[in-house]
Structure 1
Amino acid sequence: MKVDFNHCESLYWVFTQLCNDECDHCYNDSGPYGARISEEECMMIIDNLPERIDRIILSGGEPIADRKKLYNILDALRERYTDQGTQIMLQTNGDLLTEEILDTLIEKGVTRFDIASIDRFHKKAGARLMELAELFDSRGVNGEDKDPLVDKQNYLHGHPLSWGAWGATDDMWLGGNWARGRAIEKDIWKRDPEHNFCTILSGARNFLGGYEDIPQEISIQLWRINPCCPGTKFPMGDARKEKVADVLARMAEHPVFKKLNEGDPWRMGEHLGVSEAEAKARTRELENICLYCDAFFNDHLQDMNPDTFVELPVVNA
């Protein structure tokens, strides 16, 4: 495990849940009325980020739907991380991307674009892909580097302009992490108690570091500091009010989060007397590892120092 949390390899930040689409599978209820935080709060969060970050992924919702805020965030990140080699990535459904917007995003420091909408759930379901390919090609944005999210060599050694496209699949993104939000409401989630989302990128494994096969990545959902994209039932901290590095240092001492960092959620309750066998039996009942994690936090919050995990209201929703 790392000891210097003022250096983070990868940060995934959903700064808005505003979106032009309203997909059935959305795990954070994004849409035209999705939750938002203020620009002032976004600046507070940027001030509280680690001193060094190798990669920052800005996502939503649809970041371009909250364009003024996105541009101001990009300006603030460029000022904060000037000359540090931080790669800025944008995860977008691509629906709202135009020549003018693409030019502005490149000017403001975005070097990687991921079109995360090539599946049957999104409004356009990939119908704009060839148009986007031509748009990127016209600006010299390379489309050969398809998968920068997994291999950290893609963002540690230079940041040539690139883009890729992907979407939800039954085997992958409709697995553990999308037993959340509208996906629960629409009953679009994979019932597989053997699927351990914690072990993959965007899951909790390696959020505190210690492994070389995937990046050390944390997630901020609006302001909630999480070990994974779906997030634990109660956030680790509030990025508007606390230094992210301090929150991670605190979690590095917590037995529950040590096990999550190992990608082993079925053992996160051992110090409380909850055996791995009991945890797996409960997961079979719930049919999903993230739902087990929710149930565990609900059942054992008082045993885990409740002052550490406070479910605060989202402001300006």
Structure 2
Amino acid sequence: MKKNFNHCESIYWVFTQLCNDKCDHCYNLSGPKGERITEEECLSIIDNLPDKIDRLILSGGEPLAERKILYSILDKLKIKYKDKTQIMLQTNGDLLNEEILDTLIEKGVTRFDIASIDRYHKFAGKRKDEITKLFLSRNMSDEITEPLVVKNIYLKKDKVSFGFWGATEDMWLGGNWARGRALEKDVWKKDPSHNFCAILSGARGFLGGEEDIPQEVSIQLWKINPCCPGTKYPLGDARKEKVADVLERVSKSKIFHSLNKGDAWKMGESIGVTEKYAKERTYELKNVCLWCDEFFENHFDMNKLEPKNKNKIK
């Protein structure tokens, strides 16, 4: 586990849940009426980001649905980090055109991930050839078109690049968490043995120390989380707190040491919630994220970083 949290290898920031689409599998209820925060709040969050970030992924919602705020974010990121941080944009590509692409590149985006090549999105990949042609017209690299999840390649930024992916049966949809519209529409992984916590975008490595994946922290609007699905309650508020301070605070708890190892079933052992009990509850709930929710609801106070209901712990 890292000691200095003022350097973060990767931050995944959903700065808006406004979206031009309304997918059934969306975990954060993005859509035309999705939750938003103000431009001022976004700029305050940038002030509270670590002093050094290797890569910053901007996502949504659909970030191009909030273009004015996105441009302001990019301008401030360039001032804070110069060209030392790889800025990645995760978009469904629906709103992308030549003028917008040129502006984004000029403002410092070095990686574009079109995350809509699946049956749930509005165009279901129908624009892939058109967008590919647009990217290639700007001499962008398609050397690595898969999600950048391997630690040794995620920092390449010598040339603007692009990739395509989506919610396949093996990835994302295959590991879909019980959240948002996915839960409402009954599109979630009902497999108690499946451990999304153990991969990148799960909690594993959010405090650092893993050799195969980068340290990645998720910020959903303003909520600091160890993973994309997010814990029941956020670790902290990025509008008001330094992200590094929040990570240092939770790093002192054995609960989060287990999450950093990607093991939600062992996170309660230090306070008497056994792995056996955790797996029994996960089996009954059918999803590890739902067990995580129950744990923080019933057994551990996120704000005080101490056990709840000490006499009732299993």
Q: TM-score range by the shorter chain?
A: over 0.9
- Partner Cα separation in structure 2 for residue 247 and residue 65 of structure 1: 30
| Unaligned runs of at least 5 residues, structure 1 | 310-317
- The answer to whether the 8 Å contact 1:87/1:155 transfers is no
Letter aligned with residue 145 of structure 2: K
| Unaligned runs of at least 5 residues, structure 2 | 307-314
- Partner Cα separation in structure 2 for residue 213 and residue 168 of structure 1: 23
Structure 2 counterpart of 1:191: 190
- Partner Cα separation in structure 1 for residue 157 and residue 111 of structure 2: 11
- The answer to whether the 8 Å contact 1:87/1:159 transfers is no
Pair 1:41–1:308, CA change in 2 (3 A): farther
1:238-277 per-residue CA deviation (whole Å, 9 max, x = no partner) reads 0000000000001110121111001111001112211111
Normalised to the residue count of structure 1, the TM-score between the two structures is 0.94
Structure 1 counterpart of 2:171: 172
Structure 1 counterpart of 2:18: 18
Structure 2 counterpart of 1:218: 217
Q: CA deviation at 1:308?
A: 5.3
Structure 1 counterpart of 2:77: 77
Count of paired positions:
306
Letter aligned with residue 73 of structure 1: I
- The answer to whether the 8 Å contact 1:201/1:214 transfers is yes
1:124-154 per-residue CA deviation (whole Å, 9 max, x = no partner) reads 0000000000000111111221135212333
State the Cα RMSD in Å.
Answer: 1.3
Paired residue secondary structure (1:154)? coil
- Partner Cα separation in structure 1 for residue 158 and residue 240 of structure 2: 31
- The answer to whether the 8 Å contact 1:170/1:190 transfers is no
Normalised to the residue count of structure 2, the TM-score between the two structures is 0.95
- The answer to whether the 8 Å contact 2:22/2:30 transfers is yes
2:256 is the counterpart of 1:257: yes
2:50 is the counterpart of 1:40: no
Paired residue secondary structure (1:43)? helix
Paired residue secondary structure (1:265)? coil
Letter aligned with residue 261 of structure 1: N
Pair 1:158–1:111, CA change in 2 (3 A): closer
- The answer to whether the 8 Å contact 2:250/2:256 transfers is yes
- The answer to whether the 8 Å contact 1:205/1:261 transfers is yes
- The answer to whether the 8 Å contact 2:176/2:187 transfers is no
Pair 1:124–1:290, CA change in 2 (3 A): same
What are the equivalent positions in structure 2 for 1:261-280 lying under 5 Å apart? Answer: 261-280=260-279
2:80 is the counterpart of 1:62: no
Letter aligned with residue 26 of structure 1: C
Structure 2 counterpart of 1:136: 135
Structure 2 counterpart of 1:152: 151
- The answer to whether the 8 Å contact 2:204/2:262 transfers is yes
1:161-191 per-residue CA deviation (whole Å, 9 max, x = no partner) reads 1100000022321244531000011001121
